[in-house]
Structure 1
Amino acid sequence: MTIRRALLVDQVIEHMRQQIATGVWQVGHRVPTETELCDELRVARNTVREAVRALSHSGLLQVRQGRGTYVRATSELSGALGRLRTSELRDVLQVRRGLEVEAARLAAHVGDEDGLRALEARLSACEAAAREGRWEAVPQEDTEFHTALVEYTGNSVLAALYRGFYEAVLASVITCVDPCGAETGLASHRRLLEAVRAADAEGAAAEAGAHLSALLHGHEPERPGTAD
């Protein structure tokens, strides 16, 4: 009986993961109620509760008392990193630098015109949002540009890793975006894209690295005796 229940819990967890991974349950949306899940999967309430508890612990779901259960992230990796967006922002930026610098270097070797036009459209959308003062849209557009650049490389493993912590990247952009400094950040993005278009691998990597290093420097904890 104990083994049977454990297997059922694992099956329910896998079902929920698939619903999230395939976009049936989207980030920020409420999942079906406990009763609905019991009826759909033909399992007991305790089985559903254990599955929800496990996925909440891993960061995929978030239980809001009196309001239901919501999708928090698309994978356990992004869920874990999503919890770092305040106290461990520096860690997220370090991971981004590693991935994005390599992506910039690889992207410069691709030379696909259709892909470059798609990247141009992504960056233009981000620039337009900033120019028009739509600051609530800038982080999403910025994150989509970075994601598109990583996918443009054609490296499926790198793309999967980056997509795996999309929410953490978005959270870091939201935390770091500064309307007063947006022009500088977007100019860096523009230089990065131009380096990719010119097949300048080292220039693209340097531009990506400089941008992330600047963000990291701006979020370094103060050391004793170094404050102005």
Structure 2
Amino acid sequence: MTLATRSRPTLVRQVIDQLREQVASGEWPVGSRIPTEPQLVEALGVGRNTVREAVRALVHAGVLECRQGSGTYVISADEMTGAVTRRLAGAQAAEAVEVRRAFEVEAARLAALRRTPEDMAALDGALADREAAWRAGRVEDFVEADAVLHIAIVAAAHNTMLAELYASFAKTMLRPSIAAFVGDELHSEDRGGHDRLVEAIRAGDATLAAAEAGAFLEV
């Protein structure tokens, strides 16, 4: 049975899977414009309505975005990231801090149990960059170094789902959340806590690591 002779629901699902694969493989990277509807019809050998339904499904899933007069663009590599990003876009600042705490406390606990020498090297490097930015009074560099440190802690937890969810959060909310807390100038209270957190992870003390991670995210 050829692609064009399959039943409509099955055909739409197959086209959705094919389009999703183009994104997942990197052939259509995030930010790129996908082929036009006529080009997709020709390439896939299906009707316009089938292509429209498939594209509409991926738009609803947050993978694609239709821009009037410009075309359809890839905005996320997968449905989960797209859905999380859409939800976070309307989040309140207090909610963002609560979500950070939920992610980062558990990530710190797991990192203390699972960290590798490579993880610790990444944490030490990020902590050093954070310290250097603080000493120099460079707010933007400090915010970036702080974000990189927290992302490295989540990576050290070695939980793929947690890392993917946190990446979606970090893309939309992490840096703005840190920047809002820091403000326009760096102060002494911005510096503390993170060295103790890294040392707790190094020592394998899961309870202390979780406590340190939560201490500077009280809401």
With structure 2 as the length reference, what TM-score do the two structures score? 0.76
Matching residue of 1:159: 160
| More displaced 10-residue stretch of structure 1: 39-48 or 143-152 | 143-152
State the alpha-carbon separation in 2 of the partners of residues 190 and 10 from structure 1: 50
Partner Cα distance (2:7, 2:52) in 1: 16
Larger Rg: 2
Residue in 2 that maps onto 1:208: 213
Give 1:48's aligned residue.
Answer: 51
User: Which residue identity is paired with 1:62?
Assistant: E
Deviation at 1:194, TM superposition (A): 2.4
* Partner-residue secondary structure (3-state), 1:85: helix
Query: Secondary structure of the equivalent of 2:217?
Result: helix
Instruction: Name the aligned partner's letter for residue 60 of structure 1.
Output: V
Distance 1:182 1:4, change over 3 A: farther
The one-letter code matched in structure 2 to 1:104 is: A
Aligned partners of 2:113 and 2:204 also within 8 Å = yes
- Of the three residues 105, 119, 125, the one matched with 2:123 is 119
RMSD, aligned CA: 3.2
1:92/1:78 CA distance change after superposition, 3 Å = farther
Percent identity for Structure 1 against Structure 2: 41
- 2 CA distance for matches of 1:114 and 1:94? 29
Indicate conservation of the 8 Å contact 1:195/1:204, yes or no.
Answer: yes
Q: Are 1:99 and 1:162, in contact at CA under 8 Å, matched by a contact in 2?
A: no
Are residues 200 and 65 of structure 1, via their aligned partners in 2, closer, same or farther at CA, if it must alter by over 3 Å?
same
CA distance in 1: counterparts of 2:35 and 2:132, whole angstroms: 37
CA distance in 1: counterparts of 2:146 and 2:90, whole angstroms: 22
1:186 CA displacement: 5.7
State the shift of 1:10 in Å.
0.8
Give the TM-score normalised by the residue count of structure 1.
0.74
Secondary structure at the counterpart of residue 212 of structure 1: coil
Distance in 1 separating the partners of 2:89 and 2:64: 19
Counterpart position of 1:193: 198
Q: Does the CA contact (< 8 Å) of 2:115 and 2:156 recur in 1?
A: no
Q: CA deviation at 1:78?
A: 2.2
Match of 1:75 in 2: 78
| CA–CA distance in structure 2, aligned partners of residues 186 and 75 of structure 1 | 36
Q: Check conservation: 1:123, 1:190, Cα contact below 8 A.
A: yes
Task: Give the AA of the match of 2:32.
Answer: H
Deviation, structure 1 residue 163: 0.8
Q: Aligned equivalents of 2:12 and 2:142: distance in 1?
A: 39
**Structure 2 unpaired stretches of 5+:** none
